[in-house]
Amino acid sequence: MVHGEVWTIKELFTYPNEYIYWSIQIVMYPFMTGLVAGAFVLSSLYHVFGIKQLKDIARFSLVFSFALLPCAPLPLLLHLQQPLRNMHVMMTPHFTSAIAAFGIVFVTYGAIVAAELWFLYRKHFVETALALKNKANKTAYETGMYHLNNLLTLGAHDISELALHRDEKAIKIMAGIGIPVACFLHGYAGFIFGSVKANALWMTPLMPVIFIMSAVVSGIALCMITYIITMEGRKFLAKRKAAACPGESCADIESVELNVIQMTAKYLLGFLVAAITLELLDLIFRGYTAVKSWDMLRRVIYGKDFYNIFVVQYGLGNLVPFILLLIPGLTIRRAVVGTLLVLLGVFMMRWNVVIGGQAFSLTFAGFMHYHLPIIPHDMETFREGLFGALFIVTSPYVLFFILNKIMPVFGMKESH
């Protein structure tokens, strides 16, 4: 079978070679990239703009952003027909293509986040290495951790007041450079779609801006939900060994958690409004100017995809969480529901752009329907099916778990 034929159903007049070539993994790609960028922007709000209330979530979201980072190009890798040739993008970049700079932007961004993390955790690396060095009867794990931490210090063992002050300054600079690069990384994912002139739904200069806004929204939402989950976990542990750990009581964690969530929700709402405004502007503008493609787009937006766009994306994914988060006296439970719905809304927005953009034929006289492969029966239906997508969604949590062992997010004395 031809690539794409498995999940595409054609209706009326389409060109013979037309299939839904960009499927679930291309939905995942901007979604994951958005989460990376959003998580980073959230952490920068504290590091650069000094918004003190976000201090607690800042360190967390930075590490989480780094855990998400390798998972952003993963969907692309699963989508490529020749995944082993992926490095060609870096080897011979053809810069007239929007994808060509991906490797460079991505690596630059990764380097910035890594550097910021290094400055943030250098003291910790040095202290851990020193503590383990003097310890007798090291287990294999401890020996490994010692060498790893020693390596991670990059030989900079100076943790005097002056050196730490320099670290702090460097963090600020790195976070400052990081914001435009994070926005670029994601706005640029929007450009990849927005610049395809052959696709009537994608082609709009607003696409990069819409993508950045929804990226920040989804990034904040995911950080909030993950933060809540880890805090609840800690609360649970604290309850169990309340005696063993007197410094950390349940009530403490709870008040910190609620405070952080309430503050973060305010920023989430702000970006959500901006994102919805831009999306509606795009829709209204298309309807008002009604160029050649509008006849077809109207049939897709108000007909075939009505449920996906207006019920799930705008209704359930935008309006409901907007109200939930806006009502005063935000509770953790409501925040969980709200942020989950926001994530659903952003995911559906990516879906409606990527899949919706291929729901109509280039002939403007036919349609294509996408059927997500659920049970994988070969490599292709795994890679571009439900399980491939689930693999992408879960991988950052595994990475976060590992990273947390090296760079603990909680229970550290703030160095600044």
Partner 1 sequence: MITRRKLITNTLKGMAALSLPAAAFEILTPERLNAIIYNDTAKVRYVFLVDTNKCVGCGLCVKACKNENEIPYEANVTRTWVERYIITRDERHEVLEKVFADSPKGARDGFITGTIDLGHGNTYTPRKEDIDKAFFVPKLCNQCDNPACVQVCPVGATYQADDGVVLIDRKWCIGCGYCVMGCPYGVRFFHPQHHVADKCNFCYHRIKKGMKTACVEACPFGARLIGNYKDPDDAVTRIINTKRVGVLKEEFGTRPQVFYLGLSMEVR
Partner 2 sequence: MKSHVWRPLYLAAGLLALFLIARYIYVPKDFGTGERGYRYSFHRLGNEDEWKAFKVKYKGTEYCKDCHSDKYQQIMRSRHAIISCENCHGPAIDHPENPAKLAKETNREHCLRCHFRLPYPTSGRSAIRGIYPGEHNPGAPCSACHNPHKPQEGLR
The contact set with partner 2 (CB under 8 A) reads 87, 90-92, 94, 96, 111, 114-115, 118-119, 154-156, 158, 163, 166-167, 169-170
Q: Is 382 in the site for partner 1 (CB under 8 A)?
A: no
Please say which residue, 73 or 321, places its beta carbon nearer to partner 1. 73
Q: Closest CB to partner 2 among 130 and 332?
A: 130
CB of 298 within 8 A of CB of 366? no
Q: How far apart are CA 272 and CA 322, in angstroms?
A: 8
Chain residues 336-365 in contact with partner 1, contact rule CB under 8 A: 361-365
Q: Does 383 bind partner 1 (CB under 8 A)?
A: no
CA distance 193 to 210: 11
- Residue 355 C-beta: closest distance to partner 1, Å: 13
Cβ 159 vs Cβ 126: under 8 Å: yes
Among 130, 173, 177, 196, binds partner 1 (CB under 8 A): 196
Q: Which does residue 115 touch among partner 2, partner 1, none (CB within 5 to 8 A, set by kind)?
A: partner 2
Residue showing tokens 């699963």: 78
CB 369 within 8 A of CB 11: yes
Does residue 93 bind partner 1 (CB under 8 A)?
A: yes
Which residue do the tokens 């998972």 mark? 71
Nearer to partner 1, 153 or 358 (CB): 358
114: partner contacted, choices partner 1, partner 2, none (Cβ within 5-8 A by kind): partner 2
If one asks whether residue 14 binds partner 1 (CB under 8 A), the answer comes out as yes
With CB under 5 to 8 Å by kind, the binding choice for 111 among partner 2, partner 1, none is partner 2
**DSSP codes of every residue in 195-239:** T-TT-TTT--TTHHHHHHHHHHHHHHHHHHHHHHHHHHHHHHHHH
Q: Does 12 bind partner 1 (CB under 8 A)?
A: yes
**Of partner 1, partner 2, none, which one sits near residue 167, judging by CB under 5 to 8 A according to partner kind?**
partner 2
Q: Which of 369, 371, 204 is nearest to 294 (CA)?
A: 204
Listed residue (45, 94, 86, 35) closest to 65, CA to CA: 35
First to last CA, the chain: 59
What are the strands, taking DSSP E only, across 22-61? none
Positions touching partner 1 (CB under 8 A) are 1-5, 9-19, 21-22, 76, 79-82, 85-86, 88-89, 91-94, 96-100, 102, 192, 195-199, 292, 361-366
